[in-house]
Amino acid sequence: MDKKVTKIGVLTSGGDSPGMNAAIRAVVRTGIYFDLEVYGIMRGYAGMIDNDIIKMESRSVANIIQRGGTILKTGRCKEFFDAAGRKKAYENLKKHGINGLVIIGGDGSFRGAQVFSNEFDIPCIGVPGTIDKDIAGTDFTIGFDTAVNTAVEAIDKIRDTMDAHDRIFVIEVMGRDSGYIALHSGIATGAENILIPEKETDIEGILSALMEKERRQKLVNLIVVAEGKFGGANEVANAIKERLPQQEVRVCILGHIQRGGSPSCFDRLVASRMGFAAVECLLESRYNVFVGIVNNRMHYIPLNEAVKKKQRVSEDWMKIVKILSS
């Protein structure tokens, strides 16, 4: 793999996140600035297999930095799990002369990139685009800030009505395997309890505390639950209703609104920096890494490490939750 990279492909893969467009724009414009040909690959790895590949110009990415979603579309691609599918993908890239790839996506997409780069002589650079912030080795991922702000805005509104009626509200946010959206949005909205997959939930403790609060006539309680934790918000609400039948308990599942919308300024900046750094990696032969930001500096982590490790939730966060909600 000592040949110079001259033509690069960029794709968005897996779950979408706000700011992916800003990252595509950065990759395309940086590539063109450094005299590379840049190709957009549609619908993630599926576009590589179906040869759905288009030449990008600087103007192809005009007026998209502020748009949610991804102009290249995204998706999950079963065929890419098979060696035959990946070989087809490789042959299509070769047809276009593409000899470097930038993959904007989550840890699953990086796993695909890792497998592909082991098999073929096309270097891959990952750019972490995921609302879950579940990739170890970077302080930020593209889309997390926007998703959390969307959740906070929605929870603030629910709090108004919850407070007016003295209700208990259980709000479910996204993050099946990662509690960061729940943790950050819960702290930022003053939630009494935050349930995340990384931590054991003491449901008995929560129920006893609610009963004690009922005795003190503190009837308003906000519980933020990460999707899938303890069976989700409905299960948590049912457990409360069983123990406190006289209380009004309501559920709200925020769902896909957390994936959409115009990216925050922060996500646009992170996406711009990471997209730029990804092309730099290809130019400097720093292959098969993903770009992260640690302590406000660019960081380059081998793809296989992204695949092995998960972002952990520090005990400091849990302490803050406990103390500030008491």
Binding footprint of ligand ADP on the chain (CB under 6 A)? 13-15, 45, 76-77, 80-81, 105-109, 111-112, 115, 130
Closest distance of CB 177 from ligand ADP, Å:
10
**CB nearer to ligand ADP: pick between 15 and 263:** 15
Nearest residue (CB) to ligand ADP, 107 versus 172: 107
Residue 161 phi, psi (nearest 5)? -75, -35
Number of CB atoms found within 10 A of residue 65's CB? 18
Which residue type does 56 have?
Answer: M
Q: Output the smallest distance, CB 217 to ligand ADP, in A.
A: 45
CB of 101 to ligand ADP, least distance (A): 13
Q: What six digits make up the tokens of 187?
A: 């702290």
Q: Nearest-CB residue to ligand ADP?
A: 108
Q: How far is CA 67 from CA 3, 70, 141, 154, 253, in A?
A: 36, 8, 17, 20, 24
Q: Identify which of residues 76 and 299 has a Cβ nearer to ligand ADP in the complex.
A: 76
Q: Which two tokens stand for residue 71?
A: 């102009």
- List alpha helices for the chain, DSSP H: 20-33, 45-49, 83-96, 107-119, 144-165, 180-188, 203-215, 233-243, 265-283, 303-308, 315-324
| The pair of three-digit structure tokens given for residue 35, joined into one six-digit string | 């005299």
Q: What is the Cα–Cα distance from 166 to 146, expressed in whole angstroms?
A: 30
Which one, 76 or 243, has the nearer CB to ligand ADP? 76
> CB-wise, 130 or 150, nearer to ligand ADP?
130
* CA distance linking residue 163 with residue 167, whole number of Å: 7
Q: How far is the CB of 129 from ligand ADP (least distance, A)?
A: 8
Cβ 140 to ligand ADP shortest distance, Å: 16
Please compute, for residue 106, the number of CA atoms within 13 A of its CA located in the half-sphere on the CB side.
21
| Angle made by CA atoms 308, 314, 320, in degrees to the nearest 5 | 155
Active site residues: 132
